[in-house]
Copies of this chain bind each other. A is one copy, B any other.
Amino acid sequence: MPHAVTWRCVKQCRQSGARLGELTTPHGVFPTPIFMPVGTQATVKAMSPDELKSIGADIILSNTYHLFLRPGAEVVAGAGGLHDFMAWDRGILTDSGGFQVFSLQSIRKVTDEGVVFQSHIDGSRHKLTPESATQIQHQLGADIIMAFDECSPANADERTVQDAMHRTHAWAERCLQAHRGHEEKQSLFGIVQGGITPSLRVQSAKAIGGMDFPGIAIGGLSVGEAKPLMYEMLEVVQPHLPKERPHYLMGVGSPDCLIEGVLRGMDMFDCVLPTRTARTGMVFTPQGRLNLRNAPNAQSYIPIDDTCDCVACRQFSRAYIRHLFKAGEILGARLATIHNLRYLMRLMQGIRQAIAEDRLLDYVNEFYAASDWVRY
């Protein structure tokens, strides 16, 4: 059965080995490496679909856990699916809810069958299983859907991580089973777990890579462990990932981590970081990070980043956007969000171009030299 979503490697950087690719989905063909802005509740916070297009977003992520609880999968399905519901006609990937029920919920019961958890909204009890998480994602209708996995916390002991990994593998098989017959409409990606234990990561990469997933995600990283440890895990895993399929590093969106991820063979990324921190007034610049709320910006009539082509940088000054934040105005969150996402889109564009020109290592060196990001 042909997969709804396919990926092909366009070329590898002769300097770094990083991959330039092309992701074909029912809602467009997108270049990789790619960053996917997060629209947890069927909206990228503070952004409109038109604005997302204007900054060059091709595919966004939304969340099974959140949409299942509110407004409910049937409400989204009634609209004709997530694309119609949120008026977004480019790509969508839905996370399975695994990460959320294991990390956001305190009261839950995990069995081999699935997870019983309490809603963070009203405390009501719900159950998610590999089968129901897959079925809900069928109702939501994203281009890429994710297997229901068990994500262990950064500080979990090895036995716990190992159990979670084995359960993730068993659940992955059940998700594939539940997805039978839907392969031409949506594609199901599998998730590698294994915490920060190299041998478990290798085992998991082999197990998930051996199943019929058209894309492989690395889950359970960027959950609190130190960056060097995350990079090490990527290096351990990479040789065991199927080369002909896209590699998706989940939950990573810091500029330095995106770069290091690409250098370690990753093709897709998502994270709330650029949008969440934007709403606090923290913005990315070629020099690093800038807190717009700080006093020195009060009469700074220059843009956030004079090399940036986003509406925030073309129309407004730091002084004005700082005023919006100090005054609690929505436009402040909007402008900072637009800028941070545009910054990441341009960063990924730069990475792709550098791969095409076989000079990604030079590009990375220039990135660190210009900014105050520390390289681990």
Q: Determine the chain B residues whose CB is within 8 A of the CB of A301 once the complex forms.
A: 78-79
Interface check A324, CB cutoff 8 A:
yes
Task: Report whether B75 and A334 are in contact in the complex, using a CB–CB cutoff of 8 Å.
Answer: no
C-alpha gap A277/B316 in the complex (Å): 27
Task: Report whether A298 and B75 are in contact in the complex, using a CB–CB cutoff of 8 Å.
Answer: yes
Q: Determine the chain B residues whose CB is within 8 A of the CB of A46 once the complex forms.
A: 330-331
How large, as a class, is the contact surface on chain A? Answer: 35 or more
Q: Please report which residues of chain A, range 59-114, place their CB below 8 angstroms from some CB of chain B when the two chains form the complex.
A: 66, 70-71, 75, 78-79, 85-87
Task: Report whether A320 and B78 are in contact in the complex, using a CB–CB cutoff of 8 Å.
Answer: no
C-alpha gap A75/B319 in the complex (Å): 8
Q: Determine the chain B residues whose CB is within 8 A of the CB of A315 once the complex forms.
A: 49, 87
Q: Which one of A37-45, A190-198, A257-265, A365-373 is at the B interface?
A: A37-45
Q: Determine the chain B residues whose CB is within 8 A of the CB of A311 once the complex forms.
A: 48, 50
Q: Determine the chain B residues whose CB is within 8 A of the CB of A374 once the complex forms.
A: none
Nearest to A312 among chain B residues (CB) is B48
Q: Determine the chain B residues whose CB is within 8 A of the CB of A331 once the complex forms.
A: 43, 45-48
Interface check A326, CB cutoff 8 A:
yes
Binding site for B on A (CB under 8 A): 41-43, 45-50, 66, 70-71, 75, 78-79, 85-87, 298-299, 301, 311, 315-317, 319-320, 322-324, 326-327, 329-331, 333-334
5 further A-B pairs in the complex, CB-CB below 8 A; given A45-B331, A75-B298, A85-B317: A42-B323, A48-B331, A50-B311, A71-B327, A334-B334
